[in-house]
């Protein structure tokens, strides 16, 4: 069993690609849709973005269970370095806990306006994503590559990113966080879809 994935799979090329644990030593990955060079993400329009330079400061809730604790701590440190305010709702160790409790706390921070976005981490990300999407108004996206994160923001206005600590290498997970924090929502027809989802949530609560 791999603790962290030793490869990055793009949507157009699934050949294995190794990455170094050190961001500064990672070999560049190129394909026709995505470009990664060191710590920069270049989106499909070719614009390089980096969270500390492109995105206004935000309040972000972070949460994990024991399986995601190590990655959550790295994500928290990175967000602070980028100038964001981080609200860590736990867990605070690798002792076994339920992802349900901590995922709920983070989502409540978004729904009550305390935080603008949330980043949730567990072993695979599946449990946290199930919990998060039980909350009205939360649009949580479980993502394993940068294209998924970009589309989650641009088309779905995702306000929660879910990561699997046992699926993603830490340096690549940090790249996904940067994409999540910098990509805008396209609106337009995509807002119409979100309105439909909101209507479904209202009907389910009646």
Cα separation, 113 vs 111, in Å, equals 5
Listed residue (110, 130, 65, 112) closest to 92, CA to CA: 65
With contact defined as beta carbons under 8 Å apart, do 183 and 149 qualify? yes
Asked if 155 is an active-site residue, the reply is yes
CA dist list (Å): 25 to 19, 21, 38, 119, 180 = 8, 8, 8, 26, 23
Q: What are phi and psi of 74, to 5 degrees?
A: -70, -40
Catalytic residue among 39, 42, 155, 190: 155
Q: Which residues contact residue 77 at a Cβ distance below 8 angstroms, ignoring those fewer than 6 apart?
A: none
Kindly give the pairing relationship between strand 59-64 and strand 117-122.
Answer: parallel
How many secondary structure helices (H) and strands (E) does the chain include? 7, 9
Nearest-angstrom CA–CA distance, 161 and 180: 7
Question: Which listed residue (82, 107, 115, 122) is catalytic?
Answer: 122
User: In the annotation, is 122 catalytic?
Assistant: yes
Q: State the catalytic residues.
A: 122, 155
């Amino acid at each position: 069993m791999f603790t962290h994935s030793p490869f990055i799979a793009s949507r157009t090329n699934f050949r294995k690609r190794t990455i170094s644990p050190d961001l500064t030593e990672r070999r560049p990955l190129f394909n026709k849709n995505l470009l990664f060079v060191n710590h920069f993400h270049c989106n499909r329009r070719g614009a390089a973005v980096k969270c500390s330079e492109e995105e206004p400061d935000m309040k972000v809730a972070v949460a994990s269970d024991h399986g995601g604790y190590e990655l959550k701590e790295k994500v928290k440190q990175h967000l602070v370095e980028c100038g964001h305010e981080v609200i860590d709702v736990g867990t605070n160790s690798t002792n076994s806990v339920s992802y349900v409790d901590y995922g709920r706390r983070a989502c409540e921070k978004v729904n009550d306006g305390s935080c603008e976005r949330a980043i949730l981490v567990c072993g695979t990300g599946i449990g946290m994503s199930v919990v998060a999407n039980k909350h009205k108004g939360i649009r949580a996206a479980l993502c394993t590559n940068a294209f998924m994160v970009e589309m989650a923001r641009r088309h779905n206005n995702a306000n929660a990113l879910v990561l699997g600590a046992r699926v993603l290498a830490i340096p690549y997970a940090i790249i996904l966080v940067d994409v999540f924090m910098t990509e805008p929502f396209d609106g337009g027809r995509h807002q119409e879809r979100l309105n439909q989802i909101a209507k479904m949530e209202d009907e389910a609560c009646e």
